[in-house]
Structure 1
Amino acid sequence: MSTIHGTIKVVIADDHEIFRDGMRIMLQKQQDIQLVGEAGDGRELIDQVKKLQPDIVISDVKMPRMDGAAATRHLVEHYPHIGIIALTMFDEEDLIIDMLEAGAKGYLLKNADKNEIVDAIKSVYDQQPYYCRHTSHKLAEMVARSKFNPHRQQVKPEFNDRELEIIRHICDGLTSKQIGERIFLSVRTVEGLRMKILEKMEVKNTAGIIIYAIKNNLYTPERI
């Protein structure tokens, strides 16, 4: 459940100044998000966090002097209240896993649009993990098998047989239309059940469903 936001203070770390410029311009247009600092490498990021005490850090996984995972480990140890979001290229799955296992709460691909970046910031600020909408099945399964485990709900939700069936079909890569055709339900009904599943799991998208399902033994991928 979303909280009411004040101004969320953000620090960005990326060694490409042009990318930081673009993020700065985009975030300046957000009323409830404030970019308070920038860093070009991991060491500079740690200095900025110490000085500025942000709520959220968005950090590239590949940086000079100190990479994103090393910086994340330091920040998690010294500033555990700060939410860290990994920033990555589409082909850096192993580095994403390193960041998540180091303590990042979510990740974004560098081609994410404005709405997704804002959604990720607010989700992690609300203590919810965020998985990029463009997560591949391969990466979702890698995250699910990693040590990363943000799903520490006090009471595990119960899923009925129909919901479990839909979860398995989603994990197999079927669309709502394909699921409806297979189990003789309208697309609207499948979408309604999908929304209920998202709420119960406390995740945002298909990647979140896949990762939650594998982590909690609701689905077993064929690949080993």
Structure 2
Amino acid sequence: MNYDIRLVVADDHEIFLDGLALMLSRQENITLVGQAGDGRELLEVVAREKPDVVMTDIKMPRMDGITATREMIRLQPDARIIALSMFDEENQIVEMLEAGAKGYLLKNADKQEILDAIANVYEDRVYYCKSTSAKLAGMIAKSKFNPYKHKEQISFTEREQEIIQLICLQYTAQQIGDKIFLSKRTVEGYRTRILEKMNVRNTAGVVMYALKNNLIKEEDLL
């Protein structure tokens, strides 16, 4: 894919920020145009550099990521923001999404997932971290965050709905095939089409879409 993503990152932990910045600076198609250690500095850097994507920690001094996100969205409604979170910050992740973030990552995400999240948010897709728990999925489903409300309703066949439910229950392609008497390859083909229809990139995205569109109930995930 031929693009050059101008990126700004913000985090108040200097070692984490420096390590993230070093990794990102080595990537083709990404230009790191600024770094910030708190929300106020982030707003200054964003105003100056006008990046394509912003990655920001949620908890920061002077101004937190939620407040900074609200301000960025106020100034630029189509801003593309990814929240960086610790594993125990479910409420803050929901607040970030409601404030206008288009995705979130746990700070222990691997390099490939970080790059996937940046690319997907750059292309105006929502990105849900692969490590999304059933608890967090339920919280997001109940929240005001709904990236699907202005989009045309998608129809799924009975077979696709059956596979969606099994994907949400964390069944592998082989397990799904064994359960509904299809080959693993056939199930993988269904899964690819389902992800394309939903415009999501991983199982967490399928779960979130299914919850928001009443294809599965939260209690089914527990």
The answer, yes or no, to whether TM exceeds 0.5 is yes
* Alignment deviations for residues 190-209 of structure 1 (CA, whole Å, 9 cap, x no partner): 11111110000000000100
**Paired position in structure 2 for 1:198:** 195
Q: Distance in 2 between matches of 1:73 and 1:98?
A: 10
Among 137, 141, 160, which residue is 1:140 paired with?
Answer: 137
Q: Where does 1:7-26 land on structure 2 (aligned, <5 Å)?
A: 7-26=4-23
Q: Alignment partner of 1:87: what SS? A: strand
> Which residue number corresponds to residue 69 of structure 2?
72
For residues 147-180 of structure 1, what are the alpha-carbon distances to aligned partners after superposition, in whole Å with 9 as ceiling and x for unaligned? 1111256432221000000111122232222222
The yes-or-no answer on 1:210 pairing with 2:200 is no
CA offset at residue 65 of structure 1?
1.0
Q: How far apart, CA to CA, are the structure 1 residues paired with 2:64 and 2:143?
A: 20
Q: Is the 8 A contact 1:180 1:190 kept in 2?
A: yes
**Residue 131 of structure 1: how far off its partner (Å):** 0.6
Amino acid at match of 1:150: P
| Greater shift in the superposed pair: 18-27 or 99-108 | 18-27
Equivalent residue letter for 2:110: D
TM-score, normalised by the number of residues in structure 1? 0.94
CA deviations on 1:42-93 (whole Å, 9 max, x unpaired) are 1111111111111111000111111111110000000223200000011111
Stretch moving more, 37-46 or 146-155: 146-155
- Whether 1:86 aligns to 2:83 is yes
Tell me how many residue pairs correspond in the alignment: 221
Give the letter for the 2:182 counterpart. L
Pick which of 37-46 and 139-148 moved more. Answer: 139-148
Q: What is the CA deviation profile of residues 106-138 of structure 1, one whole-angstrom value per residue up to 9, with x for unaligned ones? A: 001111111111111110110000011111122
1:103 maps onto 2:100 in alignment? yes
Report the TM-score, using the length of structure 2 for normalisation. Answer: 0.95
Tell whether 2:43 aligns with 1:46: yes
Preserved contact between residue 55 and residue 81 of structure 1 (Cα < 8 Å): no
Question: In the aligned structure 2, how far is the partner of 1:66 from the partner of 1:213?
Answer: 34
Paired residue type of 1:59: T
Structure 1 residues 5 and 82 mapped into 2: Cα distance closer, same or farther (>3 Å)? farther
Q: Which letter maps to 2:96?
A: M
The answer for unaligned runs of 5 or more in structure 2 is: none
Taking only the aligned residue pairs, the percentage that are identical comes to 58
> Aligned partners of 2:184 and 2:133: how far apart in 1?
23
Task: Indicate whether 1:157 and 2:161 are aligned.
Answer: no
Please say if residues 86 and 104 of structure 1, whose CA atoms lie closer than 8 Å, have aligned partners that are also in contact.
yes
Secondary structure of 1:34 counterpart: strand
